[in-house]
């Protein structure tokens, strides 16, 4: 297999070095040098990266040969985001925001009140929830969502047996 993660990173970093400018005349030669002169290895990795939307390779195939349009080679926004340690704008764009409204806290309090906990434990839990800072409520929300996701198989079993 000719796929090489280190080479892929080098290709993206090289293309990022002159982004947003178009590829220069020496771009293909520079990229080929990164692949130790192995055109097949370079093209394979560039086509692979293009398939994931990280660059425009400029590579086409005809039979068993590669044709390269060096002027078309460029890194995409997704490629730039991949190089950023924080995931770039793609990570921000794909962030899911979950809001934990007052009604949700009321529902949680109702669950505690209706639980089999001892009365003093119920009071203690209710007081603790009401005094939580926002960051702790957010953390609690994440934990509750994780627990809910872990319980999905049981939920589906209950739905399937009409035991609800």
CATH number of 5-92: 1.10.10, 3.30.70, 1.10.3470, 3.40.30? Answer: 1.10.10
- In whole angstroms, what is the distance from residue 141 CA to residue 135 CA? 10
- In whole angstroms, what is the distance from residue 154 CA to residue 158 CA? 6
The per-residue pLDDT for 109 is 83
pLDDT in tens, the chain (164 residues): 689 999 999 999 999 998 888 787 789 999 999 999 999 999 999 999 999 999 999 999 888 888 988 889 999 998 998 898 777 777 777 766 656 566 667 777 888 888 899 999 999 988 888 887 767 777 877 787 788 778 888 877 877 776 55
The per-residue pLDDT for 66 is 86
Contact 46, 64 (CB under 8 A): no
pTM above 0.85, yes or no: no
Q: How many CB atoms lie within 10 A of CB 55?
A: 27
Sorted by where each begins, the domain ranges of the chain are 5-92, 102-160
- Residue-by-residue DSSP string for 75-88: E-HHHHHHHSTT-H
């Amino acid at each position: 297999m000719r796929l090489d993660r280190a080479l892929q990173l080098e290709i993206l970093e090289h293309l990022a070095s002159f982004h947003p400018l178009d590829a220069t005349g020496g771009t293909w030669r520079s990229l080929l040098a990164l692949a130790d002169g192995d055109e097949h290895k370079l093209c394979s990795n560039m086509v692979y990266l293009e398939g994931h939307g990280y660059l425009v390779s400029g590579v086409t195939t005809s039979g068993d040969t590669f044709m390269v349009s060096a002027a078309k080679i460029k890194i995409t926004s997704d490629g730039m985001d991949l190089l950023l340690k924080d995931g770039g704008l793609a990570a921000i764009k794909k962030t899911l925001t979950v809001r934990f409204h007052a009604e949700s806290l009321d529902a949680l309090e109702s669950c505690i009140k209706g639980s089999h906990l001892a009365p003093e434990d119920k009071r203690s839990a209710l007081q603790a929830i009401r005094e939580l800072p926002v960051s702790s409520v957010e953390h609690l929300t994440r934990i509750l969502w994780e627990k809910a996701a872990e319980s999905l198989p049981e939920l589906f079993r209950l739905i399937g047996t009409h035991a609800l």
